[in-house]
Amino acid sequence: MSSRILIAEDEARIASFLEKGLRANGFSTEIAADGDETLRLGRSGRFDLLILDLGLPGKDGIAVLRELRDEGRALPVVILTARTSINDTVKGLEGGADDYITKPFSFEELLARVRVRLRGDRVPEPTVLTVGDAALDLRTRQAVVGEEIVNLSAREFALADAFFRHPGQVLSREQLLSHVWGYDFDPGSNIVDVYVGYLRRKLGKHRITSVRGMGYRLEGGQPSAAANDA
Pick 78 or 159: Cβ nearer Ca ion = 78
- Shortest Å distance, C-beta 85 to Ca ion: 11
- Shortest Å distance, C-beta 178 to Ca ion: 20
Rounded Cα–Cα distance for residues 7 and 118 (Å): 15
HSE toward the beta carbon, residue 112, CA cutoff 13 A: 19
* The Cα angle at residue 66 between residues 69 and 91, in degrees rounded to 5: 120
Query: Could you give the string, one character per residue 36-75, with x where binding to Ca ion holds by CB under 5 A and - elsewhere?
Result: -----------------x-x--------------------
| Residue 77, SS3 per DSSP | strand
End-to-end CA distance of the chain: 43
Told to check if 88 binds Ca ion by CB under 5 A, we report no
Q: Contact with Ca ion (CB under 5 A): which of 5, 6, 7, 10?
A: 10
In the region spanning residues 116 to 135, those forming contacts with Ca ion, defined by CB under 5 A, are none
Stretch that binds Ca ion, among 7-15, 28-36, 123-131, 191-199 (CB under 5 A): 7-15
Rounded Cα–Cα distance for residues 147 and 152 (Å): 16
In the region spanning residues 168 to 227, those forming contacts with Ca ion, defined by CB under 5 A, are none
Rounded Cα–Cα distance for residues 146 and 227 (Å): 22
- Shortest Å distance, C-beta 20 to Ca ion: 18
